[in-house]
Amino acid sequence: MSDYKTLFSILMEKSGLSSQDLEKRLGEKIESLGHLVNEDVALRLVARDMNISLLDGEAKKPCVQIVDLVPNMNNINLELVVEAMSSLKEFVKKDGTPGKLIRASVFDASGKASLVAWDEHTKVAEPLDYGSKIFVHSAYTKSGLRGDMEIHLGNRSRLEVLSAPTPGSLQTKKGTHKGRIWRTSDLVAFNRKDGSKGTLVSFQLKEDTDIIRVLVWNPPLESLSDIKEGAFVEVSNGALKADLNGKPELHVNNVESIRVRHDDIVEIKRDLIRLSDIVPNMNDIDVEGTIEMVFDISTTYNGKSYLKMLIRGGETILPIILWNEKALEFNGKANRGSMIRLESCFTKLGPQGLELGINKWSKVIIK
């Protein structure tokens, strides 16, 4: 990817503008977008407004659509719209050098996927927001941890901003979401960086046919009884972000932004999946079975507790591992012959074949 100074020089040469005039236009573009974009993005948008290519004559290659993607594709091009962005993550690579990573939930007319930007690509990706239109050059694909499709920007890739959202379009992001509480999760406790304690409650909101996860940070404990499956709810002033898999989440910092109608509650019916019907890469499913075997609780090399069980449904037996708090909670409670229900779990292919998986939003119920 060309750096800012190089692109500035290309645009100045092709437009015939002086350095001062071009800088003025960039400032006006940034101001018109409510200072939501940086200079690099503004430069590309000004070039697009002037119908000037910054690619030194390189033509765009034909696009593919998300629906046509399979793992291990290379050198592909896509035109996409951003649905949600994660926060920038900085880390240390195996070779000791610093690295950066940012994820986005993106879509086109055919479907949705996750976009993963690494290192220098994060400079262009980080200012993107809901509604940004982008063109991805020479990307590659791989399967995510849960089998979902990921589009990665590598060394030969380029991320081009076609259009940025106007300040008015962000009202959609911060508007009111209405629908049914489709699924609730247990309260999650966590430690902040300063050592203080925090809590997080989550539920799934179903708007028509779409389901989005709502995260409520540090809610008063007395308010949790209001969040009931099947209740009609309105959520306002939430911030739309992407989770680790690039899927959108609605974050709420004030419980008063959530209005639950206690006079409008319906029964939520979700199908149970039989263990014999399970295949890899299923998400957000509910299953029941009989505990066939419980292994001793153990600890990984980095201190994580885990409890492994085998669950039987008819002639099918599948493993499940409970981690950390759930492992400690159900150690001694999960016994052979007990009925167990897993809500909002997923499936994957592990080292020894097909297995069930749970995350922090999953529920485990021993009957």
Query: What value does the CA radius of gyration of the chain take, rounded to a whole number of Å?
Result: 24
156, 242 contact by CB (below 8 A): no
**Do 4-168 and 175-265 come out as alike in CATH topology?**
yes
**38-93 pLDDT per residue, tens:** 787 788 788 877 777 776 544 445 678 888 888 888 888 898 988 778 888 888 88
4-168 — its CATH code? 2.40.50.140
Tokens of 113: 């996927």
> How many other β-carbons are positioned within 10 Å of the β-carbon of residue 248?
19
Q: Measuring CA to CA, how many Å separate 273 from each of 290, 314, 339, 347, 350? A: 14, 13, 15, 11, 20
**Rounded to an integer, what distance in angstroms lies between the CA atom of residue 243 and that of residue 239?**
12
pLDDT at 117 over 90: yes
Q: Which long-range contacts (CB under 8 A, 24 or more apart) does 43-46 make?
A: 43/4, 43/7, 43/8, 43/11, 44/7, 44/160, 44/161, 45/161, 45/163, 45/164, 46/11, 46/22
Find where tokens 């209740």 sit. Answer: 231
153, 121 contact by CB (below 8 A): yes
Residue with more model confidence, 41 or 202? 202
Phi, psi (deg, nearest 5) at residue 226: -75, -25
Q: Where are the domains of the chain?
A: 4-168, 175-265, 275-366
DSSP 8-state assignment for residue 175: S
pLDDT at 61: 55
Helix (H, G, I), strand (E, B) or coil at 271: coil
Angle of helix 4-15 relative to helix 19-32, nearest 10 degrees, comes to 110
212, 246 contact by CB (below 8 A): no
33, 24 contact by CB (below 8 A): no
CATH 2.40.50.140 fits 175-265, yes or no: yes
Tokens of 235: 């959520």
59: exposed, middle or buried (C-beta count within 10 Å: 0-12, 13-18, 19+)? exposed
**Rounded to an integer, what distance in angstroms lies between the CA atom of residue 120 and that of residue 358?**
34
Mean pLDDT over 4-25 rounds to 83
> How many other β-carbons are positioned within 10 Å of the β-carbon of residue 161?
23
**121-154 pLDDT per residue, tens:** 998 888 887 778 899 988 999 887 666 789 999 8
Nearest residue to 236 via CA among 250, 247, 218, 224 = 250
pLDDT at 150: 92
Q: Measuring CA to CA, how many Å separate 119 from each of 43, 56, 148, 158, 363? A: 20, 23, 22, 12, 36
Q: Measuring CA to CA, how many Å separate 69 from each of 64, 66, 140, 141, 273? A: 8, 5, 10, 8, 27
Contacts of 10 (CB under 8 A, 6+ apart): 2, 54, 56
pLDDT at 36: 65
pLDDT at 59: 44
**212-270 pLDDT per residue, tens:** 899 999 888 887 788 889 999 999 878 877 776 667 788 888 888 899 988 898 988 88
Residue with more model confidence, 32 or 159? 159
Residue with more model confidence, 240 or 341? 341
pLDDT at 57: 47
Across the chain, mean pLDDT equals: 83
**Rounded to an integer, what distance in angstroms lies between the CA atom of residue 62 and that of residue 159?**
15
Residue 189: pLDDT band by 50, 70, 90 thresholds?
Answer: confident
**Rounded to an integer, what distance in angstroms lies between the CA atom of residue 30 and that of residue 21?**
14
Tokens of 316: 């099918």
pLDDT at 245: 63
CATH 2.40.50.140 fits 275-366, yes or no: yes
**Rounded to an integer, what distance in angstroms lies between the CA atom of residue 47 and that of residue 15?**
9
H or E segment to which residue 7 belongs:
helix 4-15
**273-303 pLDDT per residue, tens:** 999 999 888 888 999 999 999 999 998 887 8
152, 140 contact by CB (below 8 A): yes
Residue 172: pLDDT band by 50, 70, 90 thresholds?
Answer: very low
Q: Measuring CA to CA, how many Å separate 190 from each of 193, 203, 358? A: 10, 17, 18
